[in-house]
Structure 1
Amino acid sequence: MQQLRKLALTWHCPRIRISVIANNTAALAFWQRENFVELHRKPAEGFTAGAIVMKWRHNEL
């Protein structure tokens, strides 16, 4: 994860956004530990639960 953050910053991308399927609690817990926060939820076609859109922002750490 640290390497991904460094790469994003070298590309002048201060934010990273991801989506996690809401019923994937292990993945959700992982991204929360990595300081990603929830932005909103949306339907996820083909999945049994919706998607949680999350972000990490360099300036917020």
Structure 2
Amino acid sequence: MGLILPWLLNLFPILTPIAASALAWVMVPAMFHHLKHRRPISGSGGESGWSEAQLL
């Protein structure tokens, strides 16, 4: 939502691809880190923080 809504509302549309690229630069190494340490990439099988977020 944080990437798409500003683009849809035409608020600084140039920042949307920059933010998406920055997110990819963070997520790809994180994926390899999780694979290296054999952790599940998704939150299944452990606490993912959704229960705490839903309580707020």
Q: TM-score, normalised by structure 2?
A: 0.31
By relative contact order (CA 8 Å, sep 6+), the higher-ranking structure is: 1
Bigger helix fraction: 2
Bigger strand fraction: 1
Q: TM-score, normalised by structure 1?
A: 0.29
